[in-house]
Structure 1
Amino acid sequence: MNVASLPIDVVTVSVTADIKPPRLSLVPLYQEQPKYSIDVIRAQQSGTVKLAYSLSPQGEVLNINTVELNVNRELNISARKALSKWRYRRGIYSEERYKIIFDFTLE
Protein backbone atom coordinates (compact mmCIF):
# COMPACT_ATOMS: atom_id res chain seq x y z
CA MET A 1 0.00 0.00 0.00
CA ASN A 2 1.29 3.44 -0.89
CA VAL A 3 2.01 5.75 2.09
CA ALA A 4 0.28 8.63 0.33
CA SER A 5 -3.00 6.71 0.24
CA LEU A 6 -3.04 5.94 3.97
CA PRO A 7 -5.20 8.14 6.21
CA ILE A 8 -3.41 10.54 8.54
CA ASP A 9 -4.62 10.61 12.12
CA VAL A 10 -4.71 13.87 14.07
CA VAL A 11 -4.39 14.00 17.86
CA THR A 12 -4.97 17.29 19.67
CA VAL A 13 -2.91 17.69 22.83
CA SER A 14 -4.18 20.42 25.10
CA VAL A 15 -3.40 21.70 28.57
CA THR A 16 -7.09 21.89 29.46
CA ALA A 17 -8.77 19.11 31.42
CA ASP A 18 -11.14 18.08 28.66
CA ILE A 19 -8.91 16.39 26.11
CA LYS A 20 -11.11 14.71 23.56
CA PRO A 21 -10.05 11.24 22.46
CA PRO A 22 -8.82 11.30 18.88
CA ARG A 23 -10.65 9.59 16.04
CA LEU A 24 -8.12 7.18 14.65
CA SER A 25 -8.20 5.07 11.52
CA LEU A 26 -6.29 2.32 13.32
CA VAL A 27 -7.44 2.18 16.95
CA PRO A 28 -4.75 1.44 19.56
CA LEU A 29 -5.44 -0.81 22.54
CA TYR A 30 -3.30 1.48 24.68
CA GLN A 31 -2.27 5.05 24.06
CA GLU A 32 -0.50 7.73 26.00
CA GLN A 33 -0.79 11.42 25.21
CA PRO A 34 2.28 13.66 24.85
CA LYS A 35 3.00 15.90 27.80
CA TYR A 36 3.39 19.64 27.94
CA SER A 37 6.22 20.59 30.31
CA ILE A 38 5.93 23.66 32.55
CA ASP A 39 8.66 25.42 30.54
CA VAL A 40 6.85 24.83 27.24
CA ILE A 41 3.56 26.11 28.73
CA ARG A 42 5.30 29.25 30.05
CA ALA A 43 6.85 29.83 26.63
CA GLN A 44 3.35 29.54 25.08
CA GLN A 45 4.57 26.94 22.59
CA SER A 46 2.03 25.34 20.28
CA GLY A 47 2.06 23.73 16.87
CA THR A 48 2.06 20.33 15.20
CA VAL A 49 4.29 17.28 14.88
CA LYS A 50 3.66 14.85 12.03
CA LEU A 51 5.12 11.40 12.65
CA ALA A 52 5.37 8.26 10.52
CA TYR A 53 5.66 4.82 12.08
CA SER A 54 5.27 1.11 11.46
CA LEU A 55 3.86 -1.70 13.58
CA SER A 56 5.32 -5.03 14.63
CA PRO A 57 3.23 -8.23 14.51
CA GLN A 58 2.97 -7.89 18.31
CA GLY A 59 1.31 -4.47 17.92
CA GLU A 60 4.29 -2.39 19.04
CA VAL A 61 5.13 0.94 17.41
CA LEU A 62 8.43 0.84 15.52
CA ASN A 63 10.58 3.10 13.36
CA ILE A 64 9.14 6.47 14.41
CA ASN A 65 10.27 9.28 12.13
CA THR A 66 9.46 12.96 12.30
CA VAL A 67 8.00 13.89 8.92
CA GLU A 68 7.16 17.52 9.61
CA LEU A 69 7.09 19.82 12.61
CA ASN A 70 6.56 23.44 13.55
CA VAL A 71 7.19 23.10 17.28
CA ASN A 72 10.29 23.13 19.42
CA ARG A 73 12.48 20.10 20.04
CA GLU A 74 10.91 19.32 23.42
CA LEU A 75 7.39 18.90 21.98
CA ASN A 76 8.76 16.73 19.17
CA ILE A 77 10.47 14.47 21.71
CA SER A 78 7.29 14.36 23.82
CA ALA A 79 5.18 13.28 20.81
CA ARG A 80 7.69 10.59 19.78
CA LYS A 81 7.99 9.28 23.34
CA ALA A 82 4.21 9.05 23.76
CA LEU A 83 3.71 7.32 20.39
CA SER A 84 6.42 4.78 21.22
CA LYS A 85 4.27 3.57 24.14
CA TRP A 86 1.13 2.99 22.05
CA ARG A 87 0.07 -0.63 21.56
CA TYR A 88 -2.16 -2.13 18.89
CA ARG A 89 -3.86 -5.48 18.49
CA ARG A 90 -1.55 -8.27 17.34
CA GLY A 91 -1.73 -8.78 13.61
CA ILE A 92 -0.02 -8.68 10.29
CA TYR A 93 0.77 -5.08 9.43
CA SER A 94 3.28 -5.85 6.62
CA GLU A 95 5.55 -2.99 5.67
CA GLU A 96 2.87 -0.30 5.89
CA ARG A 97 3.79 3.07 7.32
CA TYR A 98 1.17 5.00 9.24
CA LYS A 99 1.08 8.72 9.88
CA ILE A 100 -0.23 10.71 12.79
CA ILE A 101 -0.30 14.41 13.60
CA PHE A 102 -0.04 15.61 17.17
CA ASP A 103 -1.57 19.09 17.41
CA PHE A 104 -0.33 20.94 20.50
CA THR A 105 -2.64 23.77 21.56
CA LEU A 106 -2.87 26.05 24.56
CA GLU A 107 -6.41 26.94 25.57
Structure 2
Amino acid sequence: MLRYLWFELRMRQMSIPVLVQIIGAPIACSDGLKASWREVASWAAGQLKTHFGAEVNVQYYDLFDAGCPPIPPGAQLPLVLVNSTVLSNGGKISVPLIRKQVDALRAGVSK
Protein backbone atom coordinates (compact mmCIF):
# COMPACT_ATOMS: atom_id res chain seq x y z
CA MET A 1 0.00 0.00 0.00
CA LEU A 2 2.79 2.41 0.89
CA ARG A 3 4.48 1.74 -2.44
CA TYR A 4 1.24 2.51 -4.26
CA LEU A 5 0.81 5.83 -2.40
CA TRP A 6 4.41 6.80 -3.14
CA PHE A 7 3.86 5.95 -6.82
CA GLU A 8 0.65 8.03 -6.92
CA LEU A 9 2.44 10.99 -5.31
CA ARG A 10 5.30 10.77 -7.83
CA MET A 11 2.85 10.62 -10.75
CA ARG A 12 1.03 13.73 -9.50
CA GLN A 13 4.31 15.59 -9.05
CA MET A 14 5.32 14.70 -12.59
CA SER A 15 1.98 15.82 -14.04
CA ILE A 16 2.20 19.33 -12.56
CA PRO A 17 4.54 21.41 -14.74
CA VAL A 18 7.43 23.22 -13.09
CA LEU A 19 6.79 26.97 -13.39
CA VAL A 20 9.74 29.05 -14.59
CA GLN A 21 9.15 32.81 -14.48
CA ILE A 22 11.66 35.19 -16.01
CA ILE A 23 11.37 38.90 -15.24
CA GLY A 24 13.29 41.44 -17.26
CA ALA A 25 12.84 44.91 -18.69
CA PRO A 26 13.11 46.45 -22.15
CA ILE A 27 16.49 48.07 -22.76
CA ALA A 28 16.54 51.61 -24.11
CA CYS A 29 18.98 52.44 -26.88
CA SER A 30 19.38 55.12 -29.55
CA ASP A 31 17.05 53.20 -31.90
CA GLY A 32 14.28 52.93 -29.31
CA LEU A 33 13.60 49.95 -27.08
CA LYS A 34 15.30 46.58 -27.42
CA ALA A 35 13.67 43.48 -26.01
CA SER A 36 16.87 41.51 -25.48
CA TRP A 37 15.84 39.81 -22.21
CA ARG A 38 12.51 38.89 -23.80
CA GLU A 39 14.39 37.36 -26.75
CA VAL A 40 16.78 35.44 -24.49
CA ALA A 41 13.84 34.25 -22.36
CA SER A 42 12.05 33.08 -25.51
CA TRP A 43 15.16 31.18 -26.61
CA ALA A 44 15.53 29.67 -23.10
CA ALA A 45 11.85 28.64 -23.13
CA GLY A 46 12.42 26.83 -26.43
CA GLN A 47 15.44 25.01 -25.01
CA LEU A 48 13.54 24.00 -21.88
CA LYS A 49 10.46 22.88 -23.85
CA THR A 50 12.67 20.78 -26.12
CA HIS A 51 14.25 19.09 -23.10
CA PHE A 52 11.28 18.80 -20.73
CA GLY A 53 8.21 19.14 -22.97
CA ALA A 54 4.99 19.73 -21.04
CA GLU A 55 6.81 19.23 -17.71
CA VAL A 56 7.87 22.89 -17.72
CA ASN A 57 5.90 26.11 -18.18
CA VAL A 58 8.00 29.21 -18.93
CA GLN A 59 6.54 32.71 -18.55
CA TYR A 60 8.27 36.01 -19.31
CA TYR A 61 7.30 39.36 -17.77
CA ASP A 62 8.60 42.84 -18.32
CA LEU A 63 9.09 44.53 -14.95
CA PHE A 64 5.91 46.64 -15.07
CA ASP A 65 3.62 44.10 -16.78
CA ALA A 66 0.28 43.45 -15.13
CA GLY A 67 0.53 40.08 -13.43
CA CYS A 68 4.29 40.32 -12.94
CA PRO A 69 5.24 38.27 -9.86
CA PRO A 70 6.42 40.24 -6.80
CA ILE A 71 10.08 41.23 -6.90
CA PRO A 72 12.02 40.44 -3.70
CA PRO A 73 13.78 43.42 -2.07
CA GLY A 74 17.24 43.96 -3.52
CA ALA A 75 16.67 41.68 -6.52
CA GLN A 76 18.30 42.60 -9.82
CA LEU A 77 17.09 41.88 -13.33
CA PRO A 78 16.86 39.51 -14.98
CA LEU A 79 15.17 37.60 -12.18
CA VAL A 80 14.51 33.87 -12.63
CA LEU A 81 11.96 32.17 -10.38
CA VAL A 82 11.36 28.42 -10.37
CA ASN A 83 8.11 27.45 -8.67
CA SER A 84 8.06 30.96 -7.11
CA THR A 85 11.53 30.57 -5.56
CA VAL A 86 14.39 32.82 -6.66
CA LEU A 87 16.90 30.80 -8.68
CA SER A 88 19.01 33.70 -9.95
CA ASN A 89 18.94 37.48 -10.13
CA GLY A 90 21.17 39.80 -12.07
CA GLY A 91 23.70 38.49 -14.53
CA LYS A 92 22.59 36.08 -17.23
CA ILE A 93 19.62 33.82 -17.84
CA SER A 94 21.30 30.42 -17.45
CA VAL A 95 19.52 27.51 -19.15
CA PRO A 96 21.88 24.92 -17.54
CA LEU A 97 21.11 26.32 -14.07
CA ILE A 98 17.36 26.26 -14.76
CA ARG A 99 17.59 22.71 -16.15
CA LYS A 100 19.49 21.57 -13.06
CA GLN A 101 16.79 23.00 -10.76
CA VAL A 102 13.93 21.54 -12.83
CA ASP A 103 15.67 18.14 -12.78
CA ALA A 104 16.07 18.41 -9.00
CA LEU A 105 12.39 19.27 -8.55
CA ARG A 106 11.35 16.40 -10.80
CA ALA A 107 13.51 14.08 -8.70
CA GLY A 108 11.86 15.39 -5.53
CA VAL A 109 14.86 17.39 -4.32
CA SER A 110 15.04 21.18 -4.41
CA LYS A 111 18.10 23.41 -4.53
TM bracket, shorter-chain basis: under 0.3
Larger proportion of strand? 1
Q: Which has the higher contact order (CA 8 A, sep 6+)?
A: 1
Q: TM-score, normalised by structure 2?
A: 0.25
- Greater C-alpha Rg: 2
